[in-house]
Amino acid sequence: MKKAYNFAAGPCVLPQPAIDAAIEALKDFEGTGIPVVSISHRSKEWTAVMDEARNLWKEILNIPDNYEVLFLGGGASLQFLCVAMNFLEKKAAYLETGVWAKKAIKEAKGLGEAYALASSADKTFCYIPKNYVIPTDIDYFHITTNNTIYGTEIREDIDSPVPLIADMSSDILSRPVDVSKYALIYGGVQKNVGPAGLAFAIVNKDALGKVSRYIPTILDYKTHIDGESMFNTPPVFSIYVMKETLKWLKNMGGLEAIHKLNVAKAEKLYAEIDRNTLFRGTAAKEDRSIMNVCFVMAEGKESLQDEFMKLATERGMVGIKGHRSVGGFRASIYNACPIEAIDALISCMQEFESLNK
């Protein structure tokens, strides 16, 4: 089999133990003689998977008792609307740090006053806005903690005088998080936690029920809390693989251990980008993401971009082309991306430098 190093931004790199377990479950789920994709979501075998997955989330993130973990369809994009439906009564503020934050604002504007409190659009979202003051007359403040397209990240839990809501699609479970600081944390799982087709929501139950509008049944978080994430048929395969990924993360030592590894991987790759005469990073150094490392050819070396992409492809690098809106390169180095992949990419960059002295 050809050796490939997967740096794609999503769907994510999955740990091999989760893949192996999924393969076996596709053959025979829990000794039922039925593949997991065909199992009844009301069976006791499946209910046990849901319970285990939920409990793993709570254990790994140390989620307080007044929060519920939901597994939902529709991806984070549907959650943009669900957030406003469940929390926006009159006015909400957003930190505009990229395309996904802009999309979230757009959905909220359809239900009330929603605006960007601060934005980094002036420099193509290459930094995280600073020195803004969160007003106290808003229903909530929304942040996107990691910006996959631009390679920026909010790596600390901010203090907010109003309910804080975070889209953590691409950095959830990559570092310890103080869940108690948030009214809601949500995201798609396909970056760090499992395959596409599933979203998660970690919601403070005490923060619900504050809006006066009618909330469509399937968009109401209370519906899914009451139904234990099975109001409608859940995406069983995605949930199963997520559960196995969570088991792997726990066995790795949890968030403290994976965060240490993620920082080491990112620092190693950024060090090469800063050293190599042919490349330069695009994100402000103080805001660099440890999940998505974005870089371009150095000034005056732009003509070499296609040549480097060709060499990288030949050396087994997959998915390092930058997002179509910004170009360049992007190495997504999520939890399950091994240090060997970082070493292989660095070796490729050094080889290219030696070929173009």
Backbone angles phi, psi at 353, to 5 degrees: -65, -45
Q: Could you give the residue numbers annotated as active site?
A: 100, 167, 191
Cα separation, 98 vs 196, in Å, equals 21
Cβ-Cβ contacts under 8 Å for 96 (sequence gap 6 or more): 102, 105, 116, 117, 118, 119, 120, 121, 129
Question: 300 — phi, psi (to 5°)?
Answer: 90, -10
Closest CA relative to residue 68, chosen from 197, 198, 174, 207: 207
Return the SS3 of 318.
Answer: strand
- Distance between the two ends of the chain, CA-based, in angstroms? 33
Sorted by sequence, the CB contacts under 8 Å of residue 313 that are 6+ apart come out as none
One-letter amino acid of 206: D
Q: Please state, in angstroms and rounded to a whole number, the distance separating the CA atoms of residues 170 and 153.
A: 10
